[in-house]
Amino acid sequence: MGRTGQRVAITMHDVAKLAGVSIKTVSNVINDYPYLRAETRQRVLDAIDKLGYQPNLSARGLRSGRTGVISLIIPDLRNAYFAELADSVMRAAASDGLAVLIQQVGGLRAAELEALHGPRMTNVDGILYSVLALDDNDVDQLDIPTPLVLLGERIFNGPTDHVTMHNIEGVKAATEHLLSLGRRRLLAFGAHPGEVIGSAGLRLTGYRQALDDAGIPFDPRRVVNVGNWHRSDGAAAMREFLAKGVEFDGVVAFNDSIALGAMRVMQEAGIRIPADVAVIGFDDIDETRYTLPTLSTISPGMEEIATVAVRFLRERIERGARAIPPREYLANFSVIQRESSAL
Amino acid sequence: MGRTGQRVAITMHDVAKLAGVSIKTVSNVINDYPYLRAETRQRVLDAIDKLGYQPNLSARGLRSGRTGVISLIIPDLRNAYFAELADSVMRAAASDGLAVLIQQVGGLRAAELEALHGPRMTNVDGILYSVLALDDNDVDQLDIPTPLVLLGERIFNGPTDHVTMHNIEGVKAATEHLLSLGRRRLLAFGAHPGEVIGSAGLRLTGYRQALDDAGIPFDPRRVVNVGNWHRSDGAAAMREFLAKGVEFDGVVAFNDSIALGAMRVMQEAGIRIPADVAVIGFDDIDETRYTLPTLSTISPGMEEIATVAVRFLRERIERGARAIPPREYLANFSVIQRESSAL
DNA sequence: ATGAAAGCGCTAACAC
DNA sequence: GTGTTAGCGCTTTCAT
């Protein structure tokens, strides 16, 4: 069959014959083997050019065990956060000559396991896995032969590298920012009941720490659960919360999307932002710069996360999946003040 | 070397030995060959299970010429439109058992050509190509052995399938919608000077047709160029346009992102939407449902585009890249009226 | 209904 | 510096 979808493919053999050398020499040229006569190399290069030869990546992958492809497991590209993460990862990977196979798993446990253990992993050099459905109890599931780097907050102390953000410190800083504006009745917006180790759990901890440090009593009525973290979920949760009549003058939202959904609902209800309620989000997705008002947020250092994650993965690919002890990396964050928390 | 990154891999041989059958029988089981004794099949299945065998996709790809991977060439995932397109394509592909390798080319000509002609294409069964940098003059570049389906507007009458949207009719309907509100001084927002065949050119044509049909003279001062179609470009273009002092009471934006950027700038300038200026966009990206005001738009039938494009590509993969004459498919669109063009 | 054997295109030992 | 050869793990004739 030969090259995908085509009946006849040009192989190294054809190039070798045309250049009057052996197939090994062609391989040497392609792989930049240094000890080649310049004239030989040029003859091979000419032949490659003339025939339009392209190396067959499946064959190379089979023989060498390297495909030049890494897989990125994420819940959902419609979530702006993950779309931006994917973009950053692809840029970082591209500069290492790696292609990225994105696997959307929609937060489904079975799909995440399939992506980790299914046959597709025989075809990629490594996996970047943004954990959502698995948690600390599933650490065993991460013991796979393929080089693996974890993103996200659900699993710490796994058998491999983990690159993530300062969740607690970031939300603590966000909360302190609203406190510094004189706001005292702050919503923790985006909690997941009972969760401790996921993003929602950590961020709630950051919120509580900031209140504690400021000597402000924690009021559980001001903890608002938001199941998923899409805009629509934030809107729905805020609608429901407003119906309860609990007073508040600030919103610490656990991500930007739900902050924007909530902001929209508050504005419908005649609440002025930031005059009546100050709002801060988390993620610094692009659209926070263009909403009305623009949204203050925590920039979690996504570019840094992507770069480091790809570097860690490349190191594991090159030196062996288990050759490096597990590493933990936390990217730097910063508070971005915009109109939604202006003075 | 064996399975990626691991020194020892379990192969069909191991399974065959354990099950006491030949390697061919194992292959038959895996590929659902029907004429197998149930008992044999079960014995093989048990052995697969026991050993944790996974077929090596590189080997299968080399031998069969099928990798089960298609590539999606798009400019940029940070653009919500393409993120949503990628999501839709991946869902459609997943239901056919295909994985998707996303290649971000950033609208760069060299990168698009590389994605079409580079070695990576030997590793995928087919390519979905959202054209941005190439145009009608590059039709020859599309003559590749890999099955190919085009998306977007830059190239018509190529040698292969083309799945796209009703650009002219969609913007015409958008324009008519604002006209039906009594608005007469409408901006065509997002033009590309001199472009005819791209999205911007087609959409401008739709705008002009609607004006012509309504007997309203075309005023070139109300055609606003916007280079890229990101939010920030829309904001910048609107800022510049407002400085000119040309009056207007409606904006027909050529995509949602620039509409949102422009809306934000108009609101800063004290313009009320829709009271002073009605706005309609194009694409129906998710966030148009949550902005203030929500954005009226044209829904271009993206789900349909993704489904049909994947189906066309699958047909070409199965029957041969050149076995089917070129097809053209236009998805259905609809006008979505929201607050930005409320009465 | 199952087995034997060839070979997809490449890389990597090992010669020379 | 360059050529020969084996073999990665699978699918696919061809036998039986």
Q: Which of A67, A101, A231 is facing B99, going by the closest CB pair? A: A101
pLDDT above 90: residue B9? no
Q: Is the CB of B293 under 7 A from strand D?
A: no
B2 — pLDDT class (breaks 50, 70, 90): very low
Taking the C1' atom of every nucleotide in all shown strands and the CA of A25, the nearest one is D2
Interacting residues of A206 by C-beta distance below 8 A, sequence separation 6+: A167, A168, A169, A170, A171, A172, A173, A174, A175
Mean pLDDT computed over A108-137: 93
The 3 state secondary structure assigned to chain B is CCCCCCCCCCCHHHHHHHHCCCHHHHHHHHCCCCCCCHHHHHHHHHHHHHHCCCCCHHHHHHHHCCCCEEEEEECCCCCHHHHHHHHHHHHHHHCCCCEEEEEECCCCHHHHHHHHHCHHHHHCCEEEEECCCCCHHHHHHHCCCCCEEEECCCCCCCCCEEEEECHHHHHHHHHHHHHHCCCCCEEEEEECCCCCCCHHHHHHHHHHHHHHHHCCCCCHHHEEECCCCCHHHHHHHHHHHHHHCCCCCEEEECCHHHHHHHHHHHHHCCCCCCCCCEEECCCCCHHHHCCCCCCEEEECCHHHHHHHHHHHHHHHHHHCCCCCCCCEEEECCEEECCHHHCC
- pLDDT of amino acid B320: 85
Separation of B34 CA and D14 C1' (Å):
19
Residues of chain B found within 8 Å of residue A231, distances taken between Cβ atoms: 286-287, 289-290
Strand D, nucleotides < 7 Å from a protein CB: these are 1-5, 7-13
- pLDDT of amino acid B343: 85
- The verdict on a CB contact (< 8 Å) between B61 and A66 is no
Partners of B74 in the beta sheet? B104
Most confident region among A178-182, A193-197, B27-31, B154-158 by mean pLDDT? A178-182
* Entry pTM: 0.92
Q: Is the CB of B1 under 7 A from strand D?
A: yes
- CB atoms under 10 Å from CB of B10, counted, come to 19
Taking the C1' atom of every nucleotide in all shown strands and the CA of B6, the nearest one is D8
Separation of B50 CA and D15 C1' (Å):
31
| A36 or B98, higher pLDDT | B98
| B8 or B112, higher pLDDT | B112
- pLDDT of amino acid B5: 36
pLDDT above 80: residue A169? yes
What homologous superfamily does CATH list for B69-164+302-332? Answer: Response regulator (3.40.50.2300)
A291 — pLDDT class (breaks 50, 70, 90): confident
**Tokens, residue A211:** 């209140």
- pLDDT of amino acid B7: 43
Q: Is the CB of A24 under 7 A from strand C?
A: yes
CA dist A149 and A187 (Å) reads: 34
Q: What is the DSSP letter of A72?
A: E
- pLDDT of amino acid A3: 36
Mean pLDDT computed over B166-189: 98
What chain A residue is nearest to B318 in terms of C-alpha separation?
Answer: A5
**Is cis: bond before B326, omega within 30 of 0?**
no
**Tokens, residue A157:** 């102390």
Mean pLDDT computed over B282-293: 92
Q: Where in chain A is the domain with CATH 3.40.50.2300?
A: 69-164+302-332, 167-299
pLDDT above 70: residue B253? yes
**Do the Cβ atoms of B22 and B44 come closer than 8 Å?**
no
B12-55 CATH: 1.10.260.40
Mean pLDDT computed over B1-8: 40
Calculate what percentage of chain A has a pLDDT beyond 90.
77
Averaged pLDDT score across all residues of chain B:
93
B167-299 CATH: 3.40.50.2300
CA dist A206 and A210 (Å) reads: 6
Averaged pLDDT score across all residues of chain A:
93
Q: What is the pLDDT of residues B49-78, one digit of tens each?
A: 999 999 999 999 999 889 999 999 999 999
Which residue type is seen at A343? L
Of A136-140, A179-183, B167-171, give the lowest mean pLDDT range: A136-140
Separation of B222 CA and C11 C1' (Å):
62
Q: What is the pLDDT of residues B144-177, one digit of tens each?
A: 989 999 999 888 888 999 999 999 999 999 999 9
- The verdict on a CB contact (< 8 Å) between B77 and A84 is yes
- pLDDT of amino acid A36: 85
Taking the C1' atom of every nucleotide in all shown strands and the CA of A15, the nearest one is C9
Q: What is the pLDDT of residues A66-118, one digit of tens each?
A: 999 999 999 999 989 999 999 999 999 999 999 999 999 998 999 999 999 99
Q: Is the CB of A23 under 7 A from strand D?
A: yes
CA dist A36 and B25 (Å) reads: 46
Q: What is the pLDDT of residues A21-63, one digit of tens each?
A: 989 899 999 988 888 888 889 999 999 999 999 999 999 999 9
Q: Which residue has the tokens 């149930």?
A: B38
- pLDDT of amino acid A136: 87
Q: Where in chain A is the domain with CATH 1.10.260.40?
A: 12-55
- The verdict on a CB contact (< 8 Å) between B77 and A77 is yes
Q: Which of A3, A101, A317 is facing B101, going by the closest CB pair? A: A101
Q: What are phi and psi of B41, to 5 degrees?
A: -55, -45
- The verdict on a CB contact (< 8 Å) between B145 and A5 is yes
- The residue among B4, B257, B283 with the most chain A CBs within 10 A of its CB, best to mutate, is B4
A8 — pLDDT class (breaks 50, 70, 90): low
What chain B residue is nearest to A91 in terms of C-alpha separation?
Answer: B104
- pLDDT of amino acid B292: 85
B32 — pLDDT class (breaks 50, 70, 90): confident
Separation of B22 CA and C3 C1' (Å):
6
B8 — pLDDT class (breaks 50, 70, 90): low
**Do the Cβ atoms of B231 and B81 come closer than 8 Å?**
no
- pLDDT of amino acid A6: 40
| A328 or B2, higher pLDDT | A328
B170 CA: distance to closest CA in chain A (Å): 23
